[in-house]
């Protein structure tokens, strides 16, 4: 995994984020609300690599579909676990200098357009860990995740509120949260 912190110049109510290095991101208003008082943005990317995808393809080619599906599901869980571990690592590092982190936002999640992935790749340069971007802004290998988080001393909505319905961005939730 890799990450990089970039200082924020401004975040508009309309969803424009401008950074010190001249990057401009466009997010929805819910993200703006959750990034209130962010001094920097942390961009992160993790992957489990391409080996599992090669094995899954071979299993499908050998008509071993059930094994392929199970292995693919294991890969999905594995990349989520790597992402969680990386987030905990980042939280420890950031807290050492007295900062808090917001919840995370992934390109293509509905809160942030998938095309913004291209900017994340420009910032992180993840080829060094074997991740590239397709013409449709999908990561290769697919068992990879990227996200951003707000960083600041006085975040209004810190990561500890991550699982609170009060700060959730879902409009339709199985647990019946109403906006």
* pTM over 0.85, yes/no: no
**pLDDT tens readout for residues 43-102:** 999 999 999 999 999 999 999 999 999 999 999 999 999 999 999 999 999 999 899 898
Give the dihedral of Cα atoms 50, 54, 56, 58; nearest 10 deg. 180
**pLDDT tens readout for residues 125-138:** 999 999 999 999 99
**pLDDT tens readout for residues 157-176:** 655 544 455 555 556 665 55
Helix orientation angle between 51-61 and 65-96, rounded to the nearest 10 degrees: 170
């Amino acid at each position: 995994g890799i990450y990089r912190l970039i200082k924020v110049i401004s975040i508009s109510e309309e969803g424009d984020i401008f950074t010190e290095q001249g990057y401009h991101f466009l997010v929805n208003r819910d993200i703006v609300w959750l990034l209130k008082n962010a001094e920097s943005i942390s961009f992160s990317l993790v992957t489990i690599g391409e080996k599992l995808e090669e094995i899954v393809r071979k299993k499908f080619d050998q008509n071993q579909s059930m094994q392929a599906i199970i292995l693919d599901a294991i890969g999905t869980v594995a990349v989520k676990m790597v992402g969680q571990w990386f987030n905990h690592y980042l939280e420890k590092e950031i807290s050492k200098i007295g900062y808090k982190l917001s919840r995370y936002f992934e390109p293509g999640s509905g809160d942030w357009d998938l095309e913004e992935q291209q900017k994340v790749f420009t910032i992180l340069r993840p080829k060094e860990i074997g991740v590239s971007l397709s013409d449709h802004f999908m990561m290769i290998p697919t068992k990879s995740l990227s996200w951003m988080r707000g960083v600041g001393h006085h975040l209004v909505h810190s990561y500890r509120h991550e699982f609170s319905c009060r700060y959730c961005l879902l409009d339709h939730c199985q647990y019946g949260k109403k906006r």
